């Protein structure tokens, strides 16, 4: 797999299509993110392909628990006051790397999984 990789993007439509073969999922207020666990580290990519690990360091730290070779597709979100906070996610994504929240911040990032591009080993879930 080449990195950064392209992800499928949601489309807005006026009416939901009907018939067999259609799947739907809600769009949360976050940023499309691919998490790649390498042998030594975790790298997070925005949908543009830009590395955003420094902005979502709490997700990178959590990703170190995954087996090397794991690649997840998801949406980086922030849950605050009982809802997803898009302004907080935008602020985090636009922050300088020196001002990005660190693990343990009062508004931690979460990765809402959309899919798994790679999972090493049999029976890995």
Tokens found for residue 33: 């993110």
**What pLDDT shows up at residue 101?**
60
Beta carbons of 85 and 45 less than 8 angstroms apart: no
Q: What is the spatial distance between Cα 18 and Cα 53, in angstroms, rounded to a whole number?
A: 38
User: 66-108 pLDDT, tens per residue?
Assistant: 999 999 999 999 988 888 899 999 988 887 666 666 555 667 8
Residue 20 has pLDDT above 80, yes or no: yes
pTM: 0.79
- What is the DSSP track for 66-116? SPTT-EEEEEEEEEETTEE-HHHHHHHHHS-TTTSPPTT-SS-EEEEEEEE
Nearest partner of 10 among 114, 116, 117, judged by Cα: 114
Residue 43 has pLDDT above 60, yes or no: yes
Residue indicated by tokens 């975790």: 42
Residue 9 has pLDDT above 90, yes or no: no
Residue 51 has pLDDT above 70, yes or no: yes
Q: Residues with catalytic annotation?
A: 27
């Amino acid at each position: 797999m080449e990195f950064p990789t392209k992800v499928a993007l949601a489309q807005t439509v006026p009416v939901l299509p009907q018939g067999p073969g259609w799947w739907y999922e809600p769009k949360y207020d976050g940023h499309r993110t691919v998490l790649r666990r390498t042998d030594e580290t975790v790298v997070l990519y925005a949908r543009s392909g830009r590395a955003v690990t420094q902005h979502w360091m709490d997700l990178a730290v959590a990703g170190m628990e995954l087996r090397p070779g794991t690649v997840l597709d998801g949406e980086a979100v922030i849950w605050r006051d009982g809802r997803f906070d898009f302004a907080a996610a935008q602020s985090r994504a636009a922050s300088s790397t020196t001002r990005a929240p660190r693990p343990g911040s009062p508004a931690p990032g979460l990765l809402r999984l959309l899919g798994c591009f790679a999972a090493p080993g049999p029976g890995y879930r």
